[in-house]
Copies of this chain bind each other. A is one copy, B any other.
Amino acid sequence: MSKSKRVELPVLEPEENAVPCCPPITAGELSVRDAERMAVMFKALSDPVRLRLFSRVASHPGGEACVCDIQDVGVSQPTVSHHLKKLREAGLLTSDRRGTWVYYRVAPSVVAAMSAMLDLRTTT
Contact = CB atoms under 8 A, between A and B. Distances in A.
A121 B42 CA distance: 20
Contacts of A63: 26, 124
A47 interface: yes
Nearest to A46: B43
List 8 tightest A-B contacts by C-beta distance, closest first: A43-B46, A115-B118, A42-B45, A35-B48, A30-B55, A25-B58, A39-B48, A35-B51
24 contacts: A25-B58, A25-B106, A25-B111, A26-B59, A28-B59, A29-B52, A29-B55, A29-B59, A32-B48, A32-B52, A35-B49, A38-B48, A38-B51, A39-B48, A39-B50, A39-B51, A43-B46, A111-B120, A112-B118, A112-B121, A114-B118, A115-B116, A115-B117, A118-B118
